[in-house]
Amino acid sequence: MNPTASTVALICGAVVISGLAWAQQGERGGPTPSPQGAAVHFVGLNDGAKLPTRVTIRFGLRDMGVAPAGLERANSGHHHLLIDTELPPLDKPIPNDFNHLHFGAGQTEAEVTLKPGPHTLQLLFGDKDHVPHNPPVMSPRMRARPPIGSPENQQVLDSAERS
């Protein structure tokens, strides 16, 4: 192989490896490890679910335990519910606001009041310091909407018809 071809091959290889490392970094969480196969999910809710504005949401967990924030216990953590927001940085503490609800006492369900209209919901499990595990334990993002015939759904339909 001539020197120019070797240089090009080396540069291409470095670019590919850098890209892979960058892509994997996006999936890394904080310093607390999670076991292989760990998962969170919504209990009894599927993508496209029809939800009233006041609803009890139950959190499911597999291959890990629930522990309150601040308590260091291997393979454990607590739930965070993300409403109408993208994932936060996965190597930093999860924000605490209306879009990032913390359940640091170890709750496995919550009664939530949603504004009228469609929403997105996602679960993200955090360690004792509210930082996602590594790899992060999170549910797929799901969409929820008001029930058909509800005043909330009618408002959404009326808005869509006007646009």
More confident residue, 69 or 158: 69
Nearest to 135 by CA among 94, 92, 96, 91: 91
Distance, CA of 142 to CA of 53 (rounded, Å): 16
Asked if pLDDT for residue 41 goes beyond 60, the answer is: yes
- The per-residue pLDDT for 116 is 87
More confident residue, 74 or 1: 74
Tell me the three state secondary structure of residue 136. Answer: coil
For range 102-118, the mean pLDDT: 95
pTM score: 0.76
- Give the bridge partners for 76, in sequence order: 65
